[in-house]
Chain A
Amino acid sequence: MARNFGFAPIKGRVIDFDRNDKRVFEYVLEREPSFALCIGCGGCAATCSAANFTEFSLRKLNILIRRGENDEVRKIVDRCMLCGKCTLVCPRGVNTRNVVFLTREAFEEFDNYAI
């Protein structure tokens, strides 16, 4: 599993929750407890600077991370400009920027030290 991390074949239409790799989720949650507070309201995605120019929803990203859909996360996580607008909007006080920051960090960490 770890060996294929992030490079697993494109998954089907179903979220294979039991087999998905939840390490990114755990990595982020451990370091940013507010991540657990997201209720998926979409406020962050609506205000997002990056979403003005490309398909990017931080709300979706949050849920993808929770479900372990890491391939999709990897594809879009770099689009965030870390501008911080979303943190000013989130009604739950999720430290959204840090979620993105930690997700990238998690990928770097697991890419480098997997195998």
Chain B
Amino acid sequence: MHNKEKHIVIIGGGTAGCVAAGRLAREGYRISLIEKDKKPGGKINNWYQLFPDRRRSVEVTDYINKEIDHPLIDLMTGTELDKVKYKNGKFSISTGKSDLGQADAVLIATGFDLFDATRKEEYGYGIYDNVITSLDLENMFHSGDILTTKEEIPKRVGIVHCVGSRDEKVGNFHCSKVCCVTAVKQAIEIKEHIPDSEVFCFYMDMRMFGPYYEELYRESQEKWVVNYIRGKVSEVSENIEGRLVIKAEDTLLGKPIRMEVDMLVLMVGMQNAKAGLNLQDKFGIQTGVNGFFRIRDNHYGNNLSNVDGLFYAGTCTAPMNITDTISHARAAAVEITEYLSKN
């Protein structure tokens, strides 16, 4: 059978979904790419600059958009999956709007949700005006102004690592991997915008896992004099002047530290997307203890699910940076090609 007669449904039009779609289309498969938002690209659309080189994220978005510009890709935005039937290795899939017919393979690339910071009430997100998340800060970068709600330029900014990650209190035991380096990147960007500000990162561990991340960390210290305090922030309150008061322990000194800041940025972690989790029963797939989809093998089967013909790509399986997401998506394309040529 010719490749063109084979049909692949990809759920999720973020980085992973789009990259895999492009690869598979070039192999000659017919692709239905379902995206729930109005435009493809996913979370990356929210980011202003990317680590470690601080290129503009639109450059990567452009790459992604080029990938899916292919006649064999049918991109359906604003669409969600509705019904799934699985029989003899084939899927019959319909969205709320139309019937997609039979699919020979399905790729789940539903990505992640950012942790809902209101669940860590002690940090005061949604309670105090100037407690924001890393995403909110990106939006400020987009707009070009970093201002407190009183429209003032913050003189001192605190950054809290591991919000909603590595935290038994919210049931997320995993490390979200990218937020440490995001914190470093954002600290630098703040300093760039507001050179006379002070930035303090409160961390439990600094995890610089990727290429050039450690270098970025060094740069932040050497060039931008970002301060790093090893201690988990436990409480935030607001004083009469409306400044935020942070309570932590400076664990390297063994003394409690209190500090006033004008703005506090929470490095919210990654969780498996709710939209992805909704597919769990429809496809009969499993999640691991970290809440992400369970891959068949940690080393050589990290695109495979427990269902034949169903594959994963990207952050629905674990927190990843963009580089790894793209590699993971390409690997998924290879796996799918191999699977379809065998069947």
Contacts and interface: CB of A to CB of B under 8 A. Distances in A.
Interface stretch (B68-76, B188-196, B246-254): B246-254
Contact of B256 (A46, A91, A93): A46
B247 A92 contact: no
A43 B227 CA distance: 19
A31 interface: no
A91 B231 CA distance: 12
Interface residues of A, number: 20
Contacts of A88: 169
Contacts of A48: 256
Contacts, number: 64
Interface string B229-271: 0111111000000000001111100111100000000000000
Nearest to A51: B256
Given A46-B256, A60-B254, A91 B169 contact: yes
Nearest to B248: A46
Nearest to B257: A46
A67 interface: no
Interface stretch (B47-55, B160-168, B313-321): B160-168
Interface in A45-101: 45-48, 51, 57, 59-60, 88-93
A45 B256 contact: yes
A39 to B, nearest CB: 7
Nearest to B230: A42
A40 interface: yes
B169 A89 contact: yes
6 contacts: A43-B231, A44-B234, A46-B248, A57-B249, A90-B168, A91-B168
Interface of A: 39-48, 51, 57, 59-60, 88-93
